[in-house]
Amino acid sequence: MTRIPSGLFLVATMMSLGVAPFAAAAVTPQVLINFDGTLVGTTYTLGAGEVDNSFTFGSNGLATVSGGVGDIPGDLDATGSGPGGNGSGFYFNGVLLGLGSLQNVSWVTEALVAFDVPVASQPATFNHILDVQGDTFLRFDGNGHNPRITNFGYWDGSNEQINVIPDLPTSGYSHVALVWDAPNTKVEAFVNGTSQGVVDLAAFDVSSPNVGYGFFSRFLNRAIDGKLDAVAFSTYTGAFDPASDFQLAVVPEPSSLALAACVLASLAGWKKK
């Protein structure tokens, strides 16, 4: 039997499972927060290995950090009123990344999120899980929807497209992401590594400098009631590959865990021969 070098064997195994062995895009981390730092008031101090190229990552309202988790208590929407007088969540100033307009840069925003109450019990009408500079979002939507729905989309200054997606899991953490393809003015949503479709309009409208997690960072309201295990924002060039190019680890399905175990077992067995 012809012996296959271990590196080539790993690549071949990954390809047979449909996993890209190398990143398809050149990804540059801009913000990476594991909530291993400290929060004093609304000022967040980075923990080991964390990144904030905007130097502005922090909290609003009654959001807290403890034990490596960011907690968002859930606030009313409409005017920003709620506990503490403003909505609670985490955000940074995207302009201060120094990249120019984020409309013209391909980016990925992502989070590991869990919910403290079911979707139907989330506060008020809207709850933004991810938002970018005002009108690009992944959210719960109870505006005329009973039960409320989950959707994503963006406003381009003249038109809005909103795609409805299946409800997010309500037990444990989920990986959620929005991926902006600047040359083609498309945003794609992902839940646990699986595409939820694409919204394709002109460039998204910029009504705020903020990039938010767990609330609507334009008006500092519309918060979720839940927790964030990590958040990240990166830029990229090339063709984005969800199998390899997220900063945060995608929450695996049980079948994926089984496949990974098989691969590791195969590798271990090969090394022993």
pLDDT tens per residue across span 209-241 = 999 999 999 988 899 999 999 999 999 999 999
Class in CATH terms, 26-252: mainly beta
Please state the pTM of the whole predicted model: 0.83
Q: Which two tokens stand for residue 102?
A: 């984020």
pLDDT at 85: 44
Residue 72 CA to residue 90 CA, distance in Å, equals: 9
* pLDDT tens digits in sequence order for the chain, 273 residues long: 333 333 333 334 444 444 444 557 899 999 999 999 999 999 999 999 999 999 999 999 899 999 999 999 987 554 444 444 468 999 999 999 999 999 999 999 999 999 999 998 898 889 999 999 999 999 999 999 999 999 999 999 999 999 999 999 888 999 999 999 999 999 999 999 999 999 999 999 999 999 999 999 998 889 999 999 999 999 999 999 999 999 999 987 554 433 343 434 433 443 333
Beta pairing partners, 272: none
pLDDT at 75: 73
Write out pLDDT tens, residues 101-120: 999 999 999 999 999 999 98
